[in-house]
Each structure stands twice: as structure tokens, then as C-alpha cells.
Structure 1
Amino acid sequence: MLPRTTADVIGRFNLAFVRHDPDLLDDLVAEDCVMESVGPAPDGSRTTGRAECLAFWRTLAADRTTRFEPGEVVLMGERATIRWRYHFGDREHVSGVNLMRIAEGRIVEALGFTKTGGLPLATDAA
């Protein structure tokens, strides 16, 4: 059965990465899905269409050399904000947030952002 609520979709989306189970993603992605990944800096890359978005997320979810740690999830109607930490290597990690939009029980938009390291902030340049 197709998840219908934003909470159902986001819960299963996060679970796919926590469990390294890409099969959980298969019926969560809309045909017209648009995703902007966190890399490469500074703007990430844009992926469009169900097949491309699903392939990207399935690869990420299947990678057992990494660990996804979801944090706070805020739901607002068809929108969700997911704070997360992505672990790779022995001690390496990056913190980030995904801004998600769900329509008719499927992901139609996913925008990923991370904290940057080594780049000066506007306040640092003054």
C-alpha cells in the first residue's frame, strides 16, 4: 500500500537510509521528482525524474560504509524538514538538512543542504 501522509513517506524515507534498505524507497518517489543534492559545493547537483532520483537514493541507502542519523523532523502539511548527520570513515561526518515536499503520497521535491567547512563566512571576512 502506498503511504499517503507526509509522516508516513518521510518516516519510511529515513528508515531506508538507517537500515540500508533501498527497497523501502521504490514507491516513495514521484515521476516528476526533483532533487538537489548537497554536493558538489557550492550549489550541489540537480537530479530530475523518478528513475534518476531513485537511483541516486538507492545507491546512498545501500552504502554500508556510511551511517545516516536522522535528527529532528518537522512536518507541515505536504512539507517536511529533516535535520540529519551523515557519518563516513572512522570519525568523519557532516550535518545537514533536507527540505522535502510530498504530493499524493510521493516525494516530488527534495533539497539538501549541509554545513560547510573551511569556507569563510561573511562575518569572518570583515
Structure 2
Amino acid sequence: MTQELIMDAAANGLSGRTAEIMRRYNEVFQRHDPSALAELVAEDCVIENTVPAPDGARHLGREACIGLWSAIATQPGTRFEVEETFVAGERATIRWRYFMADGKSLRGVNLMRVAGGRIVEAMGYVKG
């Protein structure tokens, strides 16, 4: 086996692990159940989210990130549709559509990064 093939196999393995973490992360919002977040979020996680506009807010640390995502996941009358999840190594892009309680929706994307089997970075953007 050449060095190139070994590197490809390692990248595929990493992508597979990241894809599984993203699958479990997306389920939090699909099921409105944030209990899995404790296993998925790293101590040094950072979220840059979409509100307040135009620059959003920065949330630092595991507690802050779990708190924010838990509040979003359990918001009554809302739902997320995952349109696509693309994974490359430790990075993932999630395209989503968020339906608010009033029936209106918006589209957005999260740029995610995983390290050591946990989410360490999430940068959210919405379509204006």
C-alpha cells in the first residue's frame, strides 16, 4: 500500500467518525432532545451563532454551548429539516431549514469542526 492510500484510508476513517457525530448532533434537533449533547460537545467548544444580526454572538465553553443548543432544540412549535450534511475529515457542513412556531422558516448553514471525538467549533450563518 502506498503512502497516499494510507492517508486516504485515515481520512475516510476520520470522516466516518465525524459523520456519526454529526448524525447524533442533528438528532438532538430532530427529536427535541438535547440529552446527547453532553457526550458530543468538547470542553473548549466555541459557537458563533446567527443572532443578534448582523454579527451574531460568540459562546465559549461546553456549558455555554450546551445551554444554547438545548434552548434551540427544545423551543416549542419549531423544527429543523436537515437538507444536507457534508463531511470531510474533521469538518462538516450542515445545510438546514428552521421552521419557527409561527410557520415562517429560514435557511442556514453550520460549519462544524470535530476534534477528539467531540464538537469543538460551530459557526452558524443564515440566508438573508
TM-score, normalised to structure 1, is 0.86
2:96 paired with 1:84? yes
Partner of 2:79: 67
Q: Output the CA distance in 1 between the equivalents of 2:22 and 2:69.
A: 13
Q: Output the CA distance in 1 between the equivalents of 2:57 and 2:101.
A: 23
Q: Deviations over 1:74-107 (max 9, x none)?
A: 0000000000000013430010000000001100
The one-letter amino acid paired with 1:16 is V
Partner of 2:50: 38
The one-letter amino acid paired with 1:81 is T
Partner of 1:8: 20
Partner of 1:111: 123
Identity %: 53
Partner of 2:35: 23
Q: Output the CA distance in 1 between the equivalents of 2:17 and 2:62.
A: 19
Q: Output the CA distance in 2 between the equivalents of 1:32 and 1:52.
A: 10
Higher-helix-fraction structure: 2
Q: Deviations over 1:41-63 (max 9, x none)?
A: 11110000001001110111112
Contact 2:79–2:98 at 8 Å: present in 1 too?
A: yes
Partner of 2:114: 102
Query: C-alpha displacement at 1:30, in angstroms?
Result: 0.3
Q: Output the CA distance in 1 between the equivalents of 2:102 and 2:72.
A: 18
- Structure 1 stretches of 4+ with a deviation exceeding 3 A read none
Q: Output the CA distance in 1 between the equivalents of 2:44 and 2:37.
A: 15
Aligned length: 113
TM-score, normalised to structure 2, is 0.85
Q: Deviations over 1:11-54 (max 9, x none)?
A: 00000000101102111000000000111111110000001001
Unaligned runs of 5+ residues in structure 2 are 1-15
Unaligned runs of 5+ residues in structure 1 are 117-126
